[in-house]
Structure 1
Amino acid sequence: MFTDFINRILGAEKVSVSNRLENAEPSVIMKKDSTKPIPEKYQRDIEALRQKYGDAFKTGLCINLTLQEALSIMPRERRRIDAYSGLVSYLKKEWDMTLSIKSQKTKSKTL
């Protein structure tokens, strides 16, 4: 009682815990899914790579393709390496896979 009187004088608010919050349940139950959905623009490409590599297509895989092989597996209108840059970055970020595509016109630099 004395503490209530002091709190009123000092202007402190009385804090009470509602029983309603202790028994509250979320209105939406979300499951944590370890696999994120694949963006629509990469679904066909990833499915084509899965068919080619089968069980080996998993996290940590390193895929080295020529541009001709990549075009036969995953066709593009723009027949250049940079047409696959989005897929390469997506696989690296989300799947921890390295996709390297080399062109016959690309010269390797060796010292």
Structure 2
Amino acid sequence: MFTDFINRILGAERRPSVSNRLENNAAPSVIVKKGSNKTSPKSIPEKYRKDVALLQSKYGDAFKTGFCIDLTLQEALSLMQRERKRVDAYSGLISYLKRELGITLTITSQKTKSKSL
């Protein structure tokens, strides 16, 4: 209050208060698009692009959110080549499909023990 009085006497410009900093017609500096990433995924990373394209060509219109793919390791290797011929070589692809596209990919090996009793 005292500083406002001094500023008026000296003719200094009055600074707006903190609550009046934004104008009513001010546009936000960041534009946020609403929508789910699962229906329109961002660009597919280069390392998964070929694998996703191969799976889409094999399953066609069924390749969508909520889809579950069960493959044996031999089928996966014939479709999507890997240097390391193990199930864990596909773990990145499996997590990407689940996280970004909502597709569950399950790859089983003959050496994988079943969890049923």
TM-score (normalised: structure 2) = 0.71
Please state how far the C-alpha of 1:6 moved relative to its aligned partner: 6.5
- Residue identity (%): 56
Change (3 A) 1:25 1:90: closer
Distance 1:10 1:65 in 2: 79
SS in structure 1 of the partner of residue 65 of structure 2: coil
What's the counterpart of residue 55 of structure 2? 49
What's the counterpart of residue 8 of structure 1? 4
SS in structure 2 of the partner of residue 104 of structure 1: coil
SS in structure 1 of the partner of residue 74 of structure 2: helix
The CA RMSD over aligned residues, in Å, is: 3.3
Q: Which runs of 5+ in 1 are unaligned?
A: none
TM-score (normalised: structure 1) = 0.75
Please state how far the C-alpha of 1:7 moved relative to its aligned partner: 6.6
Q: Does the 8 Å CA contact 2:41/2:101 hold for their aligned counterparts?
A: no
Distance 2:89 2:72 in 1: 13
2:103 is equivalent to residue 97 of structure 1: yes
Deviant stretches of 4+, over 6 Å: 23-26
Please state how far the C-alpha of 1:105 moved relative to its aligned partner: 1.1
Distance 2:31 2:26 in 1: 19
SS in structure 1 of the partner of residue 105 of structure 2: strand
